[in-house]
Amino acid sequence: MRIAVPNKGRLHEPALELLDRAGLGVENGADRQLYANTVDPDITVLFARAADIPEYVSDGAADVGITGFDQHQESGVENVGSVLDLEFGKCRLVLAAPEDGDITNPADLAGKTVATEFPRITRNYFDDLGVDPEVVEVTGATELTPHVEMADAIVDITSTGTTLRVNRLAVVDEVLSSSARLFAREDVRGDEKVGQVVTALRSVLSAEGKRYLMLNAPEDELDAVEDVIPGLGGPTVLDVDEPGMVAVHAVVAERDVFETVDELKRVGASGILVTEIERLVE
């Protein structure tokens, strides 16, 4: 089984880190290599341009791939779909125009020019609105085009909006919301190995922002303890050697740990231990 991963750019390192945390760490990885083995002998990582990954998966060069939703939509491949939102690489594809100009609505661009690295997405966006600008494909420095009279507006990726503001561009509309996703061909979605990969990645995502809480508590205060930490379907209660005491285990949100520990101490809990969770299979 082959997993296509971006060979560089903002999605490269987070994708490899996620695979590593899911137990699929790349072995002997090196710059500019095309393939790498993982700790699972049946799974190989294929490094490719983020924009090419949907096509690699579609053509069978890879079985699944990690890339941005924007790249998938731009590719136009029809036999590849999103299996799992990996929750990193979040950004927006926006329509922007000079902040001191007269473009304040997508309809203002009828008969005018829009520059973008995403011509397919841009044309579909304007087709849905019934607006017909000329869409010009560029391969870099998109923000510059309105200032050198190459375009009246742009459609480009933004995460924080800083680059747009620096270039005196204002957002007119959001075209697409994107994040890194795991994509797979329709014909391999039911494969056992694909299911194992999805489960492994989802378990890492499920563990994000959660902590494992263990403590001892008086048995007659168990109801009060359960009110403090309901956990996933309720805490797990175990007998201990000490008479009148029980052990309680639960998963809690990281943001709630400080207050939860304080409230548990008030109801008589002791030996409270909080640990990180690497993976959580729900």
Give the pLDDT confidence score for residue 107 in this predicted structure. Answer: 97
Whole-number Å distance between alpha carbons of 48 and 39: 20
Whole-number Å distance between alpha carbons of 271 and 259: 16
pTM score of the predicted model: 0.87
Give the pLDDT confidence score for residue 34 in this predicted structure. Answer: 86
Question: What six digits make up the tokens of 92?
Answer: 């927006």
Whole-number Å distance between alpha carbons of 156 and 141: 10
Give the pLDDT confidence score for residue 206 in this predicted structure. Answer: 94
Triad 101, 105, 110: Cα angle to 5°: 90
Q: Are 158 and 166 in contact (CB under 8 A)?
A: no
Whole-number Å distance between alpha carbons of 59 and 80: 10
What structural domains and CATH numbers belong to the chain? 2-89+179-206 (3.40.190.10), 91-178 (3.40.190.10), 210-276 (3.30.70.120)
One pLDDT digit (tens) per residue for the chain, 282 residues: 999 999 999 999 999 999 999 999 887 655 567 889 999 999 999 999 999 999 999 999 999 999 999 999 999 999 999 999 999 999 999 999 999 899 999 999 999 999 999 999 999 999 999 999 999 999 988 999 999 999 999 999 998 889 999 999 999 999 999 999 999 999 999 999 999 999 999 999 999 999 999 999 999 999 999 899 866 567 889 999 889 999 999 999 999 999 999 999 999 999 999 999 999 987
Q: Are 222 and 235 in contact (CB under 8 A)?
A: no
Amino acid at 110: A
